Amino acid sequence: MSSLHKSRIADFQDVLKEPTIALEKLRELSFSGIPCEGGLRCLCWKILLNYLPLERASWTSILAKQRELYSQFLREMIIQPGIAKANMGVSREDVTFEDHPLNPNPDSRWNTYFKDNEVLLQIDKDVRRLCPDISFFQRATEYPCLLILDPQNEFETLRKRVEQTTLKSQTVARNRSGVTNMSSPHKNLAPSAVNEYQVLPSGCEAHWEVVERILFIYAKLNPGIAYVQGMNEIVGPLYYTFATDPNNEWKEHAEADTFFCFTNLMAEIRDNFIKSLDDSQCGITYKMEKVYSTLKDKDVELYLKLQEQNIKPQFFAFRWLTLLLSQEFLLPDVIRIWDSLFADDNRFDFLLLVCCAMLILIREQLLEGDFTVNMRLLQVMEFGGASSSRDRETDTYQAPTPCQLL
């Protein structure tokens, strides 16, 4: 470890040990990258995402309160519905007077259960393929949720719920318009994809199952937006960071901490996932147009070239902005970019600058290419992200940091 890196760690420790955290100083340090040693990144992200307050003295009580609140969410939204379903399923009373699976009443518990299953099936499909180039999300967590995996009660886990649902033979997808599409997966998936991942032994759960719970509870608590494809790519790096915290006491509560940090982050970017807001000033269309207006200020020649070829920002910037570049870079580089993104007070103006810088970085190819070449280049950029087939755990490729890009 270099003396410069040791000095940076000491600078962070000095800021974080103060009774009241100097937020501006923390942002200034974090913008240039947060060391992972000693759990510094995990702690800084929790502060920068407004999960932890600036007063250190209140951290213990707030964490205990929030983690207990999350446990309550688990009881109410996962454990209790499973118990209720089991009770309803064994009832032999006259179903004309009781709630039953064919009850058309919107307030029917069965009706709610089936609607939740539609959301759950899409979440399940997406989280199982989260970061497929690394094995982390398929591995067993060191801290499975004992509240649900209680051997004395055998509560229904979300994994079992997906396996048992009558909708399991169909693929469910809910788009940003709120439309739910269903189709047979066997028409679209290779035979090996049906049983792509091995189920862990009883009493164990994979990291993707933890992420599935987080997204399901978020969808239940936010019915206006529920779950939209892509949210899994937002929660993934957050959970990975907290679940690899060297502080075992905090790692144990990675699920609850990720949920609240994800909720706070989504409060800032949720408009990107709501189609009805696309053309408003807070919508994704406005932000994509700002990428081009920023490019016009920074590199008018490149801007005019893309305009001449009628290459619209919607063709490539939609994914960049909605997923916070999580699909364009390797996971370690995404985490590094998010250090700067979370630290910047105008974090989404900074995101626009990074997107603009990514265009300028390949300006020579864009200026020389025709429409077809440039479209391919923009949609499959060689930054080592999701489009790369290289192994993320062994690849030595170093993507440019935001500071280098800018």
- Per-residue pLDDT tens over the stretch 10-46: 999 999 999 999 999 999 999 999 999 999 999 999 9
DSSP calls for 345-388: TTHHHHHHHHHHHHHHHTHHHHHH--HHHHHHHHHS-SSBSTT-
- Give, in order, the Cα–Cα distances in Å from 313 to each of 40, 301, 375: 36, 16, 11
Per-residue pLDDT at 149: 83
Domains and CATH numbers, the chain: 38-92+104-161+204-272 (no CATH), 275-379 (1.10.472.80)
For residues 140 and 204, the answer to whether their CB atoms sit within 8 Å is yes
Q: Alpha helices of 17-108 — where are they, by DSSP H? A: 23-31, 40-48, 59-74, 80-90
Which pTM was predicted? 0.82
For residues 197 and 128, the answer to whether their CB atoms sit within 8 Å is yes
For residues 129 and 123, the answer to whether their CB atoms sit within 8 Å is no
What is the separation of C-alpha 65 from the centre of its chain, rounded to a whole number of angstroms? Answer: 23
Encode the chain (406 residues) as per-residue pLDDT tens digits: 788 989 999 999 999 999 999 999 999 999 999 999 999 999 999 999 999 999 999 999 999 999 999 999 999 988 876 565 555 444 434 344 455 555 555 555 556 777 888 889 999 999 998 988 889 999 999 999 888 887 776 677 888 778 766 444 455 555 655 555 555 444 444 333 334 556 677 778 999 999 999 999 999 999 988 899 999 999 999 999 999 999 998 999 999 999 999 999 999 988 888 777 777 777 788 889 999 999 999 999 999 999 999 999 999 999 999 999 999 999 999 999 999 999 998 878 899 999 999 999 999 999 999 999 999 999 887 665 444 333 333 233 333 444 444 4
Q: Residue 357, CB half-sphere, CA atoms under 13 Å: how many?
A: 16
Per-residue pLDDT at 74: 93
Per-residue pLDDT at 271: 81
What are the backbone angles phi and psi of residue 188, rounded to the nearest 5°?
-115, -25
Count Cβ atoms below 10 Å from residue 180 Cβ, excluding itself.
15
Per-residue pLDDT at 275: 76
Per-residue pLDDT at 353: 93
Per-residue pLDDT at 165: 67
Q: Residue 187, CB half-sphere, CA atoms under 13 Å: how many?
A: 6
Q: Map tokens 């947060």 to a residue.
A: 34
Question: What residues pair up with 206 in beta bridges, in sequence order?
Answer: 140
**102 secondary structure, DSSP code:** T
Give CA–CA dist 262/324, Å, rounded: 13
Give the torsion sign (CA, 31, 236, 135, 155). positive
Per-residue pLDDT at 108: 58
Per-residue pLDDT at 99: 52
Give the H/E segment covering residue 343: helix 331-343
Residues 6+ apart with CB under 8 A from 134: 331, 392, 393
Per-residue pLDDT at 214: 97
For residues 306 and 374, the answer to whether their CB atoms sit within 8 Å is yes
- Is residue 290 classed as helix, strand or coil in its secondary structure? helix
Per-residue pLDDT at 276: 74
Buried b (16+ CB within 10 A) or exposed e, 134-159: eebbbeebeebbeebeeeeeebbbbb
Q: pLDDT tens digits, residue range 254-268?
A: 999 999 999 999 999
